[in-house]
Structure 1
Amino acid sequence: MLFRIAINPLLRAMLRLISRAEINVKKYYRVDRMINNLLHVSFKPRFKMWDHKIMIDGYDLPVRLFAPKVSQTEEVILFFHGGGWVSGTIDSYTKICAHIAKRTGRRVLSVDYRRAPEYPFPYAVEDCYQAARELFLYDKPLEASREQVVLMGDSAGASLAAAVSLMAADRGEFRVEKQILLYPSTYNDHSEASPFRSITTNGTDYLLTSKKIQDYQDLYVQNKEDRNSPYFAPLISDHLEGQPKTLIITAELDPLRDEGEAYGEKLKKFGNDVAVYRIKEALHGFFSFSLQAAQVKQCYQLINIFLKE
């Protein structure tokens, strides 16, 4: 049975109440992590899953591979989870990644990058880049040609995917052919001075608030000069030539909506192949909702069309 999550007046009031009772993320980020993990309860998938580690300068980076019962292609999705660079793990995203594998018929490799504030910028993006480098250059921990790796992420993970694509172009070690960015963070200012209207219109009443975004970013980027790095805020880059074929999906009621769409438009101006879609009545993080939700079903339809093109 398919259902649409309609934002009626009662639900809107409930969302507003919950949003305004949010915890102080900068002070209680460990509590935020605990809540995030509870909201994304892991489960044992009905198909194959393996844990593996990639050695990065003496550090063992955990990754988790998900394989569908029936693979439609040898293409691999390299997935970077969300959580504001502070919360989220491969454990809390097990259910989501298992669903991606099932719904796309592709293997999914999820990366457990190091999180802030213990490991601030650029640890997360460097971890994700090195995971991609292993796949593109060495086919580890699984066999996949360079043309068969798709970068994908949601929220902060989408920002990391975009940053890895930028890094790849800058460093010239490998080329990313496709990327899927779900409601990405792409800019470096989410205060009232932000040039994006959705920060103010959606920034107080829909669970993810503009204040929470700022708190996450303050924990992640601890040096002011790093705020102007395109590997943190891809939208500020003025060197977007040769970026991957890109699918960007935004959520109507998300504070990050406008900057995600602006990134798509800027990529187009630099001659890149980009498709941008906005999911109506969708909240930030909706991709983790029930597979029966109309917004989630629409999202998978767009993803599968993009992958098969």
Structure 2
Amino acid sequence: MRLFAAPRVNVQEDYEQIRRLQRQLAAIPTSRYQISDLALDAADGTHQIPVRVFQPQEKRRDDLLLFFHGGGWVTGDIDSYTPACDTLADLTGCVVASVDYRLAPEHPFPAGLEDCYRVARLALEDPARAGVDDASRIVLVGDSAGGNLAAVVSLLLRERGHRVPSRQILLYPVTNWDHHPETSPFDSVRDHGSDYRLTDAEVRDYLELYVPDPALRSDPHVAPLMADDLTRQPKTLLITAELDLLCDEGEAYGLALREAGNTVEMYRIDGALHGFITLPRFARPLREAYQQINAFLDGDPT
């Protein structure tokens, strides 16, 4: 497993290099993909939010998967996640819309969150424009920091009095704010925070870039596990990775959602590392995750 661990980097100094490397690794000719690009106006009109739409090789479902990528709110974009979103489209038979939200540190919290919220709200309010006949067919999906954004967008939609999506799929999401091994309430931070794919130091660096003000890091819009009210949230599939330092906090969020009266399905992939959704299609953790995702999508959308 350690052979696949990411090289240790100083995120706060090297995030631009990480971005370039991610794009290079994902630089597969676009002719392989059935994609189209569009842009939506931000709520304040100051910028546009790029969205890349992926058509599956064979469309088997009417759902639209609105995808928020991972990368610690600092790295990742629609280019580096194009292979993963193409896989998501093909293995589910769904149209996938990947949101290129603004990244920290150039655009700290809540910039990226507001971009994701804007796209989700527009899609839910006008599902025909999003290409579906009913808003219940729109599913929020996110991995890691993107899972965090999906969860918080669902909270914001309810808090602001707008339609909440019927379903969300959270893949190894960030849900807590404290990832120091001496103070974290979660054993997975201590057990898996120094040796595998993602380290506790890297998560702390990402969070500092995303939320420069320490007083805001425990805000529920950064750490949804801190929310006092988790009622009226979407039906949720929450998938964690056994060897991921975020494993315990992800599962704690699933339990908190369930205790608040929501329908939650949780699944832990044994032997999996953080970030498995970007693995090649033959990888066992990826195939196992898609078995759960497809079963969830086959269920009642309401």
Shorter-chain TM-score: what band?
Answer: over 0.9
How far apart are the structure 2 equivalents of 1:46 and 1:282? 28
Structure 2 residue matching 1:64: 3-state secondary structure: strand
The answer (yes or no) to whether the contact 2:63–2:137 under 8 Å persists in 1 is: yes
**Out of 206, 221, 226, which is 1:216 matched to?**
206
- Which sections of structure 1, spanning at least 5 residues, go unmatched? 1-6
**Is 1:155–1:182's contact at 8 Å kept on the other side of the alignment?**
yes
Are residues 140 and 91 of structure 1, via their aligned partners in 2, closer, same or farther at CA, if it must alter by over 3 Å? farther
Please say if residues 43 and 94 of structure 1, whose CA atoms lie closer than 8 Å, have aligned partners that are also in contact: no
Q: Distance in 1 between the 2:31 and 2:223 partners?
A: 34
Tell me how large the CA RMSD over aligned residues is: 1.4
Cα deviations by residue, 1:260-280 (Å, 9 ceiling, x for unpaired):
010001111101100111101
Q: Distance in 1 between matches of 2:28 and 2:12?
A: 26
Cα drift, residue 295 of structure 1: 1.1
Shift of 1:196: 0.5
2-structure distance, mates of 1:138, 1:174: 11
Letter in 2 for 1:264: G
Q: 1:255 to 1:39 in 2, by over 3 A?
A: farther
**DSSP-derived class of the 2:268 partner:** strand
* Cα separation, 2, equivalents of 1:79 and 1:239: 24
Mapping for residues 164-183 of structure 1, pairs under 5 Å: 164-183=153-172
2:196 to 187, 206, 212: 206
Amino acid at match of 1:281: G
**Where do residues 1-309 of structure 1 align in structure 2 (5 Å cutoff)?**
7=1, 12=2, 14=3, 22-44=8-30, 46-56=32-42, 57-58=44-45, 59-139=47-127, 141-144=129-132, 145-192=134-181, 193-309=183-299
Q: Which consecutive residues of structure 2, in runs of 5 or more, have no partner in the other structure?
A: none
Shift of 1:38: 3.0
Distance apart, 1:45 and its partner CA? 5.5
Per the alignment, in what secondary structure is the counterpart of residue 28 of structure 1?
helix
Please give the alpha-carbon distance, in whole angstroms, between the structure 2 residues aligned to 1:191 and 1:42.
37
Contact kept? 1:77, 1:151, Cα under 8 Å: yes
Q: CA deviation at 1:153?
A: 0.5
Normalising to structure 1: TM-score of the pair? 0.92
Deviates more, 1:29-38 or 1:287-296: 29-38
Tell me if the contact between 1:230 and 1:237 (Cα under 8 Å) persists in the aligned partners. Answer: yes
- TM-score (normalised: structure 2): 0.94
Identical positions, percent: 46
Conserved? CA contact 2:78–2:98, under 8 Å:
yes
Counterparts of 1:159 and 1:99, CA distance in 2: 21
How has the CA–CA distance of structure 1 residues 262 and 43 changed in structure 2, closer, same or farther, with 3 Å as cutoff? farther
Contact persistence 2:61–2:92 (CA under 8 A): no
User: What is the CA–CA distance in structure 1 between the aligned matches of 2:114 and 2:28, rounded to whole Å?
Assistant: 26
Are the equivalent residues in 2 in contact too, given 1:52–1:141 (CA < 8 A)? no
AA partner of residue 165 (structure 2): V
Count of aligned pairs between the two proteins: 295
